[in-house]
Chains A and B, each alone.
Chain A
Amino acid sequence: MILAEGGTGSGFGRPDAPVVTKILVRKNSYYDSVTLMSISTKVLALPGVAEAVVVMGTDHNKELLGNVGLLTAEAGAAEPNDLVVALKAADDQVLAAAAEAVEQLLTRRAASGEAQTEVAPRTIASARNRLPEANLAVISVPGRYAAREATQALRNGLHVLLFSDNVSVEEEIGLKTFAAERGLLMMGPDCGTAIINNVALAFANVVRPGNIGVVGASGTGTQEVTSLIDRLGAGVSQVIGTGGRDLSPRVGGIMMLQGITALGEDPSTAVVVLISKPPAPEVARKALSALKATGKPGVVCFIGGDPAMVEAEGLIAASNLHDAALKAVALSRSEEIKPFAWDPAWNLEEMASAEAARIASGQKYLRGLFSGGTLCDETMLILRREIGNIYSNTPLTPDFKIDGDRGFRHSAVDLGDDRFTVGRPHPMIDPTLRLDKLREEASDPEAAVILLDVVIGYGSHPDPAGALAPVIEEARRKAAESGRYLSVVTSVCGTARDPQNLDEQAAKLRQAGALVAPSNAAASRLAALIIKGLESR
């Protein structure tokens, strides 16, 4: 109810700009402060509204109104328990619209008894009350507060996926110990991938349900294996992320061990897969021993690790991520486990040979530009066996560290490394940096092969191939104009049911002239074969 209304007032903002004011007073009206602040913010956002003050009519608030030229006689007559809404706008039409908006907002609140608007819960406890059947919290807050939020969630009986990084190792140990004592999963910190009860969390793919359980300390490594499992016609039961630091000597694989135990007890899991960079030996021994103790067949992909240690426990070692998927699927179907071999049906040799034949004589180097850190590692391991050591910002050995940002000789750059993600989104989300790097590397007359991973699924860019395609086309065209041939080798990590659609992404890359291999390992092998072809000329 509007009890009072002001007239045209003096200028506000620009001294010569005519403005009009209106005062709404509601006698003895009570709205909670969140509501009042919300009304003020919404009305102030209306075009042409210069001022919207929503306060109770105390003497000092009237002084505040006077300070902004809004203390009319009506406002002055308000009492402490009266609600005063003071508006200032460019003209009468705007003012009328603003007043109407205020009335509607206040009326809606009053009619609803303040109770109908959905408000996001502000604490873990209230979120739990809102959704009592929830049993897991995904936490992504600045690192300094992450441990506190995770503790709240654990104390509320929730499993946790902690996406945040910059959590101290002491906090990580504390959280994981705290969780383990309560039989809860503490995935992370810096855990980007999990699939729990068929629900993909953070960066994960739409993978069909099945009987293969995965515990992964590597995000894109886990995505690659689970996507390939799906593409091989099998499915996953649970995918538990641990965070990359879990298998360090200090953390001791607390979450990996708990994940193994959980999958061992899970009746829907028939096969257990472990994915990680090589852990500390004592941690690896504990993990392998725990896996063996489940009595379930296990595949272990310690990327670049020693297979003998795995096989000594009677478990199956995978030589790369694709191999891990193949072996897990075979085990899940009780099929014979075969040593890994590059499938002739992939035509890698033929494709490599054709590409090498088109590459000009001065072109000799491979340049990998990766969004997935584990995929970059896997590539370097495969390439090292085929063409020797690879330079990188995250090299396999320190001697091959790149100085600066540009590729050097044969190189593979992890663009998801902290160095590149300060102040900008991860390249899986925002391809801008990689597109710039792609243009840069492609313009190097010595570059022969560009190797790219394309990671799709939840969390990733909505159309990474669509973003890459025009730049690949442009780079190849410019190379051709200068008498060169640029070979672009890619793979897509994901499934046909991902929002971006594996097949559509692959088609866009092919359309742009890129080769699309069936996995990152296969793409790496293909790139290596092209380089070997060039070296043998």
Chain B
Amino acid sequence: MTKKSRLQGLSVSSSVLSLLAREPEGNVHSVFRRSANLLLGPSELIGLVDADAGNAPNAVVLQTFDGDLPGLLPGFLPGMPMRCREGCILIGDGIAVELGGAQVWNPDPEPPAVLRTRAGLAETRMKLTEAIDAWGSEAGLRAAVMAALKRDDAGSPGLGSPGDAGREMDRLGQIAQPRLKRLFDAFSRHDGPETLAAALSLVGLGPGLTPSGDDFLAAFAGTMVLGERWGIGANPATAGLVRGLAAGIRGKTTLAGETLLRPALEGHLPEHLAEMIRELVGASVDSSPGIAAGCTPKIQKVLAWGSTSGTDLACGTLAALDFLIRNR
């Protein structure tokens, strides 16, 4: 018999709150070491995560999670029914997640007070490249992104020399690299249809519950959307890319991939990623002594995410920065 327990929500995204206000019913979709997913209806996923994971557009952060100690969600099993009543998520017959005292997290990140200059952006882009090179996962799309970003003699996309462009690619990289190149070429030409076609060829591609291609695209599109919203630069192909992906991803990837990608197309990114982007494009300088060392805490937070997800997300932001710099 399930032991009765009450878990306190620390914060909840405003979009999840709106969803739960309809008092939906569903079930526990999946249970992991530090999180669990609830499935509402056919395709709405809500994550219950620990504070270390941070806020996300689809997430509730639980106060009771204690870092990465084992046994974070005792009693949670996939398939258990869940329902929502009066600000409380009820799971099975013994678990209640209280949202009454939870802070509401707005997935629309605040723009930085002051934006970096073009030279400043180039500098932080280099910092991100170095951090990915030193700390990033070697699996996923990293090598393919770096190779595709490398500027060739014809002046194809890319500023400077990305880190491990010469690194040998695995099969995923060999498949992904020409698709990424096609995406960057089309995007640099402001060719909307071709950009969308290239992006769709990456949806659902690669390892992971959120496949690498989804991680990359979420960060690429999300960074472009935020960059344009914050007045850093604009690319006419962004709007079409966002609209087209929103319409075209259903059934092309996993539920988790779609749950990450869909809000990202509106600039709603996981908190750690959004914070990293704000740091990279904002001119405010963190006075902590570690900043000068290269890999900032915010970059590190993103790179430490999952197996390849963090690196793929960082690569997406890196690619978007290239285009934002060119339009700055």
Q: Tell me if B15 counts as interface (CB < 8 A to partner A).
A: no
Chain B residue contacts of A119, Cβ below 8 A: 33, 68
Query: Are the C-beta atoms of B293 and A129 separated by less than 8 Å?
Result: no
Of chain A, the residue at the smallest CB distance from B291 is A148
Chain A residue contacts of B309, Cβ below 8 A: 33
Query: Are the C-beta atoms of A68 and B171 separated by less than 8 Å?
Result: yes
Query: Are the C-beta atoms of A60 and B203 separated by less than 8 Å?
Result: yes
Chain B residue contacts of A113, Cβ below 8 A: 31, 71, 73, 76-77
1/0 contact string of A94-121 vs chain B (CB within 8 Å): 0000000000000000000111111101
Chain A residue contacts of B33, Cβ below 8 A: 32, 114-115, 119
CA distance A126 to B30 in the complex (A): 23
Stretch at the interface among A138-146, A237-245, A454-462: A138-146
CA distance A175 to B304 in the complex (A): 23
Q: Tell me if B326 counts as interface (CB < 8 A to partner A).
A: no
Select which of B72, B172, B300 is within 8 A of A64 by beta carbon.
Answer: B172
1/0 contact string of A139-169 vs chain B (CB within 8 Å): 0001011111111100100000000000110
Query: Are the C-beta atoms of A129 and B139 separated by less than 8 Å?
Result: no
1/0 contact string of A80-103 vs chain B (CB within 8 Å): 110000000000000000000000
Contact of A145 with B254 at beta-carbon distance under 8 Å, contacts A114-B32, A121-B67, A130-B69 already known: no
1/0 contact string of A54-70 vs chain B (CB within 8 Å): 11101111011001100
Chain A residue contacts of B255, Cβ below 8 A: 80-81
Q: Tell me if A199 counts as interface (CB < 8 A to partner B).
A: no
Stretch at the interface among B204-212, B221-229, B263-271: B204-212
Instruction: Give residues 169-213 of B contacting A (CB, 8 Å).
Output: 171-172, 175, 201-211, 213
Task: Tell me how many residues of A have a C-beta within 8 Å of chain B.
Answer: 55
Contact of A168 with B254 at beta-carbon distance under 8 Å, contacts A64-B172, A129-B52 already known: no
Chain A residue contacts of B251, Cβ below 8 A: 80
CB distance from A101 to the nearest CB of B (A): 18
Query: Are the C-beta atoms of B31 and A58 separated by less than 8 Å?
Result: no
Instruction: Give residues 238-266 of B contacting A (CB, 8 Å).
Output: 251-257
Select which of B171, B172, B294 is within 8 A of A145 by beta carbon.
Answer: B294
Q: Tell me if A346 counts as interface (CB < 8 A to partner B).
A: no
Query: Are the C-beta atoms of A147 and B289 separated by less than 8 Å?
Result: yes
Query: Are the C-beta atoms of B29 and A30 separated by less than 8 Å?
Result: yes
Q: Tell me if B129 counts as interface (CB < 8 A to partner A).
A: no
Contact of A148 with B204 at beta-carbon distance under 8 Å, contacts A58-B252, A126-B67 already known: no
CA distance A30 to B78 in the complex (A): 10
CB distance from B115 to the nearest CB of A (A): 24
Query: Are the C-beta atoms of A168 and B292 separated by less than 8 Å?
Result: yes
CA distance A233 to B224 in the complex (A): 68
Query: Are the C-beta atoms of A55 and B67 separated by less than 8 Å?
Result: no
Chain B residue contacts of A450, Cβ below 8 A: none
Among B67, B73, B175, B301, which residue has the most Cβ atoms of chain A within 10 A?
B67
Chain A residue contacts of B18, Cβ below 8 A: none
In the complex, besides A56-B204, A123-B300, 14 extra interface pairs with C-beta distance below 8 angstroms are A34-B307, A36-B208, A56-B208, A60-B213, A80-B253, A114-B33, A118-B70, A119-B33, A125-B67, A129-B52, A144-B295, A148-B296, A148-B300, A150-B289
19 contacts across the A-B interface (CB closer than 8 A) = A32-B33, A32-B306, A32-B307, A33-B309, A37-B207, A37-B307, A58-B204, A58-B257, A60-B204, A63-B205, A80-B204, A80-B253, A81-B254, A123-B300, A128-B67, A130-B68, A145-B293, A145-B294, A168-B292
Which 8 pairs of residues, A with B, have the shortest CB-CB distance? Answer: A129-B67, A58-B204, A174-B289, A148-B290, A151-B290, A30-B30, A33-B208, A60-B205
